Structure 1
Amino acid sequence: MWFGGSIGPPLTRPRDCRPILPHLTQVWTSTDWPEHERRCVTHRGRHVVVLGPCGADTDDLHQTTAGTVPDDVVWRWPGSYVVAQIEPEAVTLWTDLASAIPVYTRRTPEGTQWASSSRLLACLDGALRVNLDTVAARLISPDTAELGTDSFFLGVERVPPGHRIRLSARTEPLPQAVWRPTPRSEGHARRLRAALEGAVSVRVDRASRPSTDFSGGFDSSALGLLAAERLVSQQRRIVGVTVHPKGVHDGGDLDYAREAAHHIGLDHRWLPVTEEHAPYRELGVVPATDEPAPSTVSYAYFSAQLVWLVEQVGSDLHMTGDGGDALLLTPPYHLVELLRCGRIGRALGEAARWAHVRRTSIIDAFRTANSRIEPDPVPRWVHAAFPASNDANPFSLQSQTQRSLMRTMTQAGRTARADAQLAEAFGIALHNPYFDSQVIHSYLSVPVDDLPGPARYKPVMAEAMRDLFPVRLTRRTTKGDASSDHHQGLRKALPVLLDFVDGHLAAQGLVDVACLRKSIRHAALGIGDELAQIESTVSTEAWLRAVNAAPRIPWDACEVGAV
């Protein structure tokens, strides 16, 4: 599924797309794009289009954009959406705060194409070319691939999140940041609750059979219970899915999930997984996406879950709690920033709490917190250097803590779109409400010096959900850890994996296969701390294979419609 448009003739669009309006052929969506996620109002020759799930109705949209489109338009209403203003000779775009629905551009001698898919734009001339510099940056660290505006394809650039950009045939596009947090002194839990209620409602109200992850953690439990509250008044229910090892129904997250599921509007289901769903299986059948998907290494489980949702639940929309940790867990650098803000007593108290959790001294806690802003070393098997310094602060935020939060959110939000593309192949709309602009804006209204310390486990969320969470869940201070599953999967897939990594990356000279294999063997034995970098490399290799094997997406010329 995708949307996009053209600036300047001749106009082209992907095959099997339809214009947003019969007379507005230069803006289009794929034929499977949901009707309720494409809205358009007209004001004296200009059109304002909203693409994506949005809580505004047509009257709201018409009244708000009658004079001009306000820059807060993308976080004014619940949902994850992009806004486009279409004028006779230009298009102005407003992007969401987390790139949950990313926007890419490609300039040609005839004009500019823009779309929600970088791979789609890369196929414009039939000669899809991968951007090896971006690939190399991802091998170093997924964070370094976030620097700048390059996509994973040559000639295709991404528009930064939370920006406004004007595209015309006569001028160079210049994105301008339009979002900054608005500090509020109180009401943080209430605002977060309201934003999450809106994010859930805008999705489940339109779904015929909605479902959600229900792992027993804060984030998925909140979505499931808020959806249950919303739907019970409509005499409907949401299916909450708890994944568990086959034959195991008790302990850890499973106990929290079982207790939280006692709501009349929640249909709680258990999804058993076995060794055949272990990480590192089925890497050769992962579909092509705009970039390596977060679920690539876990594709065997992920695809099995999607099949189960279709066959056993009939789900047409599934929500996940992805993004909750990125938004609601304060980065350790916050300790240093508290000191610099003069909050010495608070800084010492939070550092002592964090030092206790990590079993270290307060001095070491501050030292570690300060060092967290430094990049990780380049993996020893990667033949690439750190990319040249670029603007890593697209929102011009003064707070390092907020910059860290937003950098994590925008990187995670955009890559989560690749998971949604995987789910599309199974006929399921995958949604991640924690990446919604209004949710982000509401939570980051908490002033920096009032954010919970890094050792505190989501206290604002606990307060926001106090009436729906069981008392035991509200008091939870940690989350589950699946790293042992990945180590076991690595061990079982070792022979196949050692052969798999000698592929496209090696052919491009980006990895030392012998060194990579050595690190994989060590990780399989539980030696070293390179598992995350290994998974990133394996995911990138799987993505390259999928992109090279997938057929090119055809584009066709179309007639120019009147604006």
Structure 2
Amino acid sequence: MRFAIFADSPAAAAIAERTAPTAGGQLLRHASGRPWIVGHWQPADVIATSAGRHRIALLGCTRIDARTLPDTLGRARSLQELDALARTLPGAAHLVASVNGRVRAQGTVTGVCQIHYTQVDGTTIAADRPDLLAAMTGAGLREDLLARQLLAPLIPYPLGERPLWQGTEKVPGNSYLELTPDDAHRVVRWWTAPEPDLPLVQGAERLRSALHDAVAARTHLADTISADLSGGMDSTSLCFLAGDRGPARLVTHLWGARDSANDDQTWAEQAAAALPGAEHVVTHPDDLPLWYEDLMTPTEDAEGPFAWIRTQAQQLAQVRQAVAQGSSHHLTGHGGDELFAALPTYLHTLARTSPRRAWRLTRSHAAMFRWKSGPTLCALADNRSYGTWLAAAVDDLAAPPPRNSRPDFGWGVSFRMPAWATPDAVETVRGMLRDAALTEPLAPQRGQHLALEMAQECGNTIRRVSRMTSSLGVAWHAPFVDDRVVEAALSIRLLDRAETAQYKPPLAAAMRGIVPDRILGRPTKAEFSAEAYAGLRRHKHHLAELCDHLHLADKGLVDPDAFRAGLLGLHPGSLTMIPLDATLACESWLRSVTTTAPSPALPGGHR
């Protein structure tokens, strides 16, 4: 799916006519007859209706009673009155409306769907991706932002909010873009993170309902859908919901692990035995590409670096397998860890709201992570604002990660620039962090902010994954990063989410009676460092050859010799490989946009 959105004005109409494809594309019009949404999509991707001179389109994956939608639209007297509808939509879809000559365009809170905008001849144009807008304006890259792409393990909010294409801006997930008939625009906030005040019982009921709706929004899309069945609680829960939500035939996929200590397959087999109505496919790891394979293959997705690049070849192999099974939609359990893990950061808020319970939970975390009491108490006492916390990160930006586990109850995940980043690159990112000193967090509580930030990071990646897999005929869906599911999870009390006596208690409570209890009580969690080591061992010398002609080195961001040493050196733990991914992703993307420039026309299904 690719599309652009135009205001109901003569100037916007002229731009749409000038840039629209001559064949193969689709067009929705304002009541005035002017172009409104122009692009390329499958018929099942869009629900569109009208009421008088009002128009609305839902582009993506959602489910709604089409009979009530015109009534809802007809009663609206302003764009703001569509907030109630936006708060109820399951799945993940763009909402675009035209009401009284004004346009509302929004994505999802988690970024699975996004809206970007730019100025063309003084007129604001919106689209679902920034490179499409850059193609319309002839804009190039924002090279001043490239240094941030080297940050690992993630780019902290709000540093990643600016698109990498000149002149384009992203609409925040909590807001919508309003386009006016006089070709102006404004960004309107409509969503705030929920307060974590629901006890586990009520919260689990809300979460169960949201997950039912999220999966049902997918199971009606095709005769056959596929799903990960890794053996973990997240993917297993989705499989049982999909098996119960019909009418689609369910094919589950388990991709075997290289580590004999990985017990995912044992648990997946137990789940499969309890899903007799589904077809189960198990693939041996030797039948899949290794990690780090074909990283520099050019891609048509020019938005930005692809975060999961180390597994890209394996992902594409999995897609081809799903196609062979007749699937056009695939469910993945990604996003569950972000929502349901007992984040230590929750303890910072609990120490102030429920100190006695917080002390018990802190002792439990300290035992697991071997924290010492002095540093733990000091970390809990830290009361810095989000902006101050960000600005303080400049001091450790170029330092190696700490070797010993230490308590960290900050606003987010500790991030670093890699050892091969040039001093100029490090200083550029330091400037970005200082400029962000007045940034407000995504939620008032540290734990809520971090959970939402991680959900958005996952949502952003799922958007890119689905874009890649859809080119082969399979849309990738992660119901755990649907907005309604995220809202339900974040509404549960921090006391219940921080509990360590049980694994992922909110999800376990929500799935009680749907997933067998023995699976909900699984005491282990697999990890995949064996795949990382095997892939890097096989491909590191080929990757090191990139350092002879490194685009990032040409731009003064990476020392090629230091990066080569990072690729070829020893990695005592798989976490030390993570900085490689960010740099390889950025290098691969730079090579792609150099060889595959965006088309100057709106998409008609082909470049």
If the length of structure 2 is used for normalisation, what is the TM-score?
0.84
Q: Deviations over 1:321-341 (max 9, x none)?
A: 111111112421111211122
Counterpart of 1:175 in structure 2 is 188
With over 3 angstroms needed to count, the CA separation of the structure-2 counterparts of 1:178 and 1:556, relative to structure 1, is closer
Counterpart of 1:200 in structure 2 is 215
Counterpart selection for 1:28 from 14, 28, 37: 37
Q: Deviations over 1:304-332 (max 9, x none)?
A: 11112112x02111111111111112421
Counterpart of 2:391 in structure 1 is none
Counterpart of 1:5 in structure 2 is 5
Answer whether contact 1:200 1:227 (CA < 8 A) is retained: yes
Counterpart selection for 2:484 from 424, 438, 449: 438
With over 3 angstroms needed to count, the CA separation of the structure-2 counterparts of 1:318 and 1:103, relative to structure 1, is same
Counterpart of 1:561 in structure 2 is none
Deviation of 1:208 after TM superposition, in Å, equals 2.2
With over 3 angstroms needed to count, the CA separation of the structure-2 counterparts of 1:285 and 1:458, relative to structure 1, is same
With over 3 angstroms needed to count, the CA separation of the structure-2 counterparts of 1:275 and 1:393, relative to structure 1, is farther
Give 3-state SS (helix, strand or coil) of 2:350's partner.
helix
Does residue 188 (structure 1) correspond to residue 203 (structure 2)? The answer is yes
Instruction: Give the helix-richer structure, 1 or 2.
Output: 2
Give 3-state SS (helix, strand or coil) of 2:572's partner.
coil
With over 3 angstroms needed to count, the CA separation of the structure-2 counterparts of 1:208 and 1:245, relative to structure 1, is same
Answer whether contact 1:200 1:223 (CA < 8 A) is retained: yes
Distance in 2 between residues matched to 1:374 and 1:441, nearest whole Å: 21
After superposition, residues 478-557 of structure 1 pair within 5 angstroms as 478-501=524-547, 502-522=549-569, 524-526=570-572, 529-555=575-601
With over 3 angstroms needed to count, the CA separation of the structure-2 counterparts of 1:152 and 1:77, relative to structure 1, is same
Give 3-state SS (helix, strand or coil) of 1:187's partner.
helix
Distance in 2 between residues matched to 1:113 and 1:353, nearest whole Å: 52
Q: Deviations over 1:484-508 (max 9, x none)?
A: 3112211221211111244211111
Deviation of 1:227 after TM superposition, in Å, equals 0.4
Give 3-state SS (helix, strand or coil) of 2:491's partner.
coil
Deviation of 1:469 after TM superposition, in Å, equals 2.3
Counterpart selection for 2:57 from 21, 34, 49: 49
Give 3-state SS (helix, strand or coil) of 1:49's partner.
strand
Answer whether contact 2:38 2:602 (CA < 8 A) is retained: no
Question: Greater shift after overlay, 60-69 or 414-423?
Answer: 60-69
Counterpart of 1:354 in structure 2 is 365
Distance in 2 between residues matched to 1:64 and 1:249, nearest whole Å: 55
Amino acid at match of 1:369: D
Deviation of 1:110 after TM superposition, in Å, equals 3.8
Distance in 1 between residues matched to 2:438 and 2:278, nearest whole Å: 42
Distance in 2 between residues matched to 1:442 and 1:392, nearest whole Å: 29
Q: Deviations over 1:120-160 (max 9, x none)?
A: 222113x3522223321121233237536411211111110
Amino acid at match of 2:5: G
With over 3 angstroms needed to count, the CA separation of the structure-2 counterparts of 1:207 and 1:455, relative to structure 1, is same
With over 3 angstroms needed to count, the CA separation of the structure-2 counterparts of 1:38 and 1:477, relative to structure 1, is same
Answer whether contact 1:315 1:428 (CA < 8 A) is retained: yes
Give 3-state SS (helix, strand or coil) of 1:268's partner.
strand
Q: Deviations over 1:439-489 (max 9, x none)?
A: 111111113444334675211111211223233321124421112311221
Deviation of 1:278 after TM superposition, in Å, equals 1.0
Question: Greater shift after overlay, 10-19 or 532-541?
Answer: 10-19
Give 3-state SS (helix, strand or coil) of 1:70's partner.
helix
With over 3 angstroms needed to count, the CA separation of the structure-2 counterparts of 1:40 and 1:375, relative to structure 1, is same
Question: Greater shift after overlay, 187-196 or 277-286?
Answer: 277-286
Give 3-state SS (helix, strand or coil) of 1:93's partner.
strand
With over 3 angstroms needed to count, the CA separation of the structure-2 counterparts of 1:271 and 1:22, relative to structure 1, is farther
Distance in 2 between residues matched to 1:9 and 1:330, nearest whole Å: 51
Give 3-state SS (helix, strand or coil) of 1:4's partner.
strand
Amino acid at match of 1:205: H
Q: Deviations over 1:221-256 (max 9, x none)?
A: 11111001112xx4x53001000158x999510001
Counterpart of 2:307 in structure 1 is 294
RMSD: 2.7
If the length of structure 1 is used for normalisation, what is the TM-score?
0.90
Counterpart selection for 2:409 from 370, 384, 388: 370
Give 3-state SS (helix, strand or coil) of 1:123's partner.
helix
Deviation of 1:528 after TM superposition, in Å, equals 8.5
After superposition, residues 323-472 of structure 1 pair within 5 angstroms as 323-341=335-353, 343-365=354-376, 367=379, 368-371=407-410, 373=412, 375-383=414-422, 384=425, 385-386=429-430, 387-388=432-433, 389-390=435-436, 397-453=443-499, 456-472=502-518
Distance in 2 between residues matched to 1:45 and 1:257, nearest whole Å: 52
Q: Deviations over 1:410-446 (max 9, x none)?
A: 1221122111111022111111111111111111111
Answer whether contact 2:135 2:600 (CA < 8 A) is retained: yes
Answer whether contact 1:228 1:264 (CA < 8 A) is retained: no
Distance in 2 between residues matched to 1:265 and 1:542, nearest whole Å: 42
Answer whether contact 1:138 1:145 (CA < 8 A) is retained: no
Give 3-state SS (helix, strand or coil) of 2:282's partner.
strand
List gaps (5 residues or longer) in structure 2: 380-406
Deviation of 1:26 after TM superposition, in Å, equals 2.4
Distance in 2 between residues matched to 1:309 and 1:467, nearest whole Å: 29
Counterpart of 2:141 in structure 1 is 130
Amino acid at match of 1:334: Y
Q: Deviations over 1:146-187 (max 9, x none)?
A: 536411211111110021221234544233242331543441
Amino acid at match of 2:243: A
With over 3 angstroms needed to count, the CA separation of the structure-2 counterparts of 1:423 and 1:148, relative to structure 1, is closer
Answer whether contact 2:341 2:497 (CA < 8 A) is retained: no
With over 3 angstroms needed to count, the CA separation of the structure-2 counterparts of 1:417 and 1:396, relative to structure 1, is closer
Distance in 2 between residues matched to 1:489 and 1:535, nearest whole Å: 12
Does residue 219 (structure 1) correspond to residue 234 (structure 2)? The answer is yes
Amino acid at match of 1:10: A
Answer whether contact 1:11 1:26 (CA < 8 A) is retained: no
Amino acid at match of 1:201: A
Deviation of 1:291 after TM superposition, in Å, equals 2.1
Answer whether contact 2:54 2:98 (CA < 8 A) is retained: yes
Does residue 66 (structure 1) correspond to residue 74 (structure 2)? The answer is yes
With over 3 angstroms needed to count, the CA separation of the structure-2 counterparts of 1:431 and 1:38, relative to structure 1, is same
Deviation of 1:374 after TM superposition, in Å, equals 6.8
With over 3 angstroms needed to count, the CA separation of the structure-2 counterparts of 1:148 and 1:489, relative to structure 1, is closer
Distance in 2 between residues matched to 1:14 and 1:453, nearest whole Å: 54
Distance in 1 between residues matched to 2:211 and 2:313, nearest whole Å: 30
With over 3 angstroms needed to count, the CA separation of the structure-2 counterparts of 1:320 and 1:136, relative to structure 1, is same
Amino acid at match of 1:223: L
Does residue 163 (structure 1) correspond to residue 202 (structure 2)? The answer is no
Counterpart of 2:403 in structure 1 is none
Answer whether contact 2:156 2:412 (CA < 8 A) is retained: no
Deviation of 1:265 after TM superposition, in Å, equals 2.7
Counterpart of 2:156 in structure 1 is 144
Deviation of 1:29 after TM superposition, in Å, equals 5.1
Give 3-state SS (helix, strand or coil) of 1:369's partner.
coil
Counterpart selection for 1:269 from 281, 285, 290: 281
After superposition, residues 234-253 of structure 1 pair within 5 angstroms as 234=247, 236-245=248-257, 252-253=263-264
Amino acid at match of 1:45: R
**Matched residues, number:** 549
After superposition, residues 31-110 of structure 1 pair within 5 angstroms as 31=40, 33-68=41-76, 69-87=81-99, 89-110=101-122
Distance in 2 between residues matched to 1:363 and 1:61, nearest whole Å: 58
Distance in 1 between residues matched to 2:97 and 2:587, nearest whole Å: 38
With over 3 angstroms needed to count, the CA separation of the structure-2 counterparts of 1:531 and 1:153, relative to structure 1, is same
With over 3 angstroms needed to count, the CA separation of the structure-2 counterparts of 1:356 and 1:59, relative to structure 1, is same
Answer whether contact 2:497 2:505 (CA < 8 A) is retained: no
With over 3 angstroms needed to count, the CA separation of the structure-2 counterparts of 1:330 and 1:71, relative to structure 1, is farther
